[in-house]
Amino acid sequence: MLSPEVQTSCRLIDRVAFKGSGKMLEVYTYDLPDSTHAAASVASDQQLSVHKFFELMGGKYPEDFSVTFQKGIRLYLGDRGGAGADWVQATKLLNKCLELRPGDTPSESALAYIKQHAGADGACPADWKGFRNLTEK
């Protein structure tokens, strides 16, 4: 279990169901900072506590990126049943995330999925349930 402080540095990036499971799981990421100083501090301390690791490697992004990403991913997913998903608006927000932070893999991944599965108008499929089914175990 992660501490509340560490949980605030995690981003919801998707919801998935594994092949044959039917059970939906939320997927989160913990983003490491770009700071080479923090990485050097961690690398030099072999007895680093978990608390100290997260203190040094705090993965928070600037507020404008975090808010934009959170809105974009929520519009991509919709609620747990997919209602409220708006892939057209999600695409705009996730592209804005890539302007703010080029190469953000979770933004790129969600956009790639939307591009592959959206209708001609960019909207999510009518049967969207708010998660993607993984086809391989």
pLDDT digits (tens, 9 = 90+) for 90-128: 999 999 999 999 999 999 999 999 999 999 999 999 999
What is the enclosing helix (H) or strand (E) of 17? strand 10-17
Taking the C-alpha atoms of residue 102 and residue 72, their distance in angstroms, rounded to an integer, is: 16
Residue-wise pLDDT for 21-50, tens only, equals 778 999 998 876 655 445 555 555 555 565
Q: When comparing pLDDT for 32 and 75, which is higher?
A: 75
What's the pTM value of the predicted model, to 2 decimals?
Answer: 0.79
Q: What is the band of 72 on the pLDDT scale with cuts at 50, 70, 90?
A: very high
Picking from 119, 117, 122, 111, the residue whose alpha carbon sits closest to that of residue 135 is 117
